[in-house]
A = this chain, B = another copy of it.
Amino acid sequence: MDNLLERFWAGDQRALARAISVIENNDAGRDELLAAFSRKAGQTYILGLTGSPGAGKSSLVDRLTGVWRSGGDRVAVVAVDPSSPFTGGAILGDRIRMQDHSEDQEVFIRSMGSRGSLGGLARSTKDVVRTMDAFGFGLVMVETVGVGQAELDIMNVADTVVVVLTPGAGDGIQTIKAGIMEIADVFAVNKCDLAGADRLVMEVEMMLDLGRGRSGWRPPVVPVSAQTGQGVTELAETIQRHREYKQSSGLLLASRRERLKAEVLEIVNYRWRCLVDSRLALPGGARELLARVADRELDPYTAATAILAEVAGNAGN
């Protein structure tokens, strides 16, 4: 473990990949690694990209990676797909789409699926992002497929959230979820050369007009084409502007503090549920109380009181 950490701090990407695997698989040394990384992390800017499947997020990530690499930043990408069972190193799809950067030692790509996600995918994503942060990337991009609750939770890790929309892909203003509108710091209207792109830009602007005014930052709407590269520089500049806004307003520091606090409580509650589960795996006690409730011999509230005392009594000692 000391050897792994040593190689990690020396900047060995294989040590980074190994550390991520240890964390994801809950192998021995996981907590030690995470504690070490937590103390180091907090320097990296975290950019989230989300949107419907087929919106072109991956291609945009590829383009943005190019922009930041040419600026000298080391970039890491976490591609999260809650519907995929695959977790691990860069899968074939990543290699193909990230071919511009596959030979670049300063770019690191990791795919995450629903498998091997101890405590939920959002939880694992946070741990992986923290590991990349500690490793010293200037920028970590988190890309998620889809716009459900899982993706909203994942986006909670990001300092800036880009929502990617496309014309004619069911991304009409009626179908945009309320939750998505609230987390967007920047809108990217991709495939901006397609018919309907201008209209979509206008619709999003109108929706922003109607929405409750958020003081300080109105999410800009940037037409872009990941295919041709049109608008990519403007998108990167807009993201940079949001970054500067968050820094100068104090929001970056405040939101990161709140996020860290929330994360501690998530871990507390997750561990609590694990303790409950492990008591239920044993015969007698909590397990028997549950059976008696199912048999309607005991009411749920009395059983809950007894189980809480049992699990807490065990955890508190």
Q: Looking across the interface, which residue of chain B has its beta carbon closest to that of A297?
A: B39
> Which residues of chain B have C-beta atoms less than 8 A from A92's C-beta?
none
Q: Looking across the interface, which residue of chain B has its beta carbon closest to that of A149?
A: B149
In whole angstroms, how far apart are the Cα atoms of A36 and B38 in the complex? Answer: 49
> Which residues of chain B have C-beta atoms less than 8 A from A260's C-beta?
293-294, 296, 300
Q: How many residues of A contact B (CB 8 A)?
A: 48
Count of this chain's copies in the oligomeric assembly: 2
| B264→A303 contact, CB < 8 A | yes
> Which residues of chain B have C-beta atoms less than 8 A from A268's C-beta?
276, 304, 307-308, 311
| B269→A299 contact, CB < 8 A | no
| A264→B316 contact, CB < 8 A | no
**A314 at the A/B interface (Cβ < 8 Å)?**
yes
> How would residues 270 to 288 of chain A score, 1 for a CB under 8 Å from any chain B CB and 0 otherwise?
0111001000000000000
How far, in Å, is A289 (CB) from chain B's closest CB?
7
Known: A149-B149, A301-B34, A301-B35. A265 touches B261 (CB 8 A): no
Q: Looking across the interface, which residue of chain B has its beta carbon closest to that of A174?
A: B170
> Which residues of chain B have C-beta atoms less than 8 A from A149's C-beta?
149
How far, in Å, is A287 (CB) from chain B's closest CB?
10
> How would residues 168 to 206 of chain A score, 1 for a CB under 8 Å from any chain B CB and 0 otherwise?
001000110000000000000000000000000000000
27 contacts between A and B (CB under 8 A): A31-B301, A34-B301, A35-B299, A35-B301, A36-B299, A260-B293, A260-B296, A260-B300, A261-B293, A261-B294, A263-B300, A264-B293, A264-B300, A264-B303, A264-B307, A265-B307, A267-B301, A267-B304, A268-B276, A269-B276, A272-B272, A272-B312, A308-B315, A309-B315, A312-B313, A312-B315, A313-B317
Known: A269-B276, A272-B308. 14 other contacts (CB 8 A): A31-B301, A35-B299, A258-B294, A260-B294, A260-B296, A264-B289, A265-B290, A265-B307, A267-B301, A268-B276, A269-B272, A271-B308, A316-B316, A316-B317
List A residues at the B interface (Cβ < 8 Å).
Answer: 31, 34-36, 38-39, 42, 149, 170, 174-175, 257-258, 260-261, 263-265, 267-269, 271-273, 276, 289-290, 293-296, 299-305, 307-309, 311-317
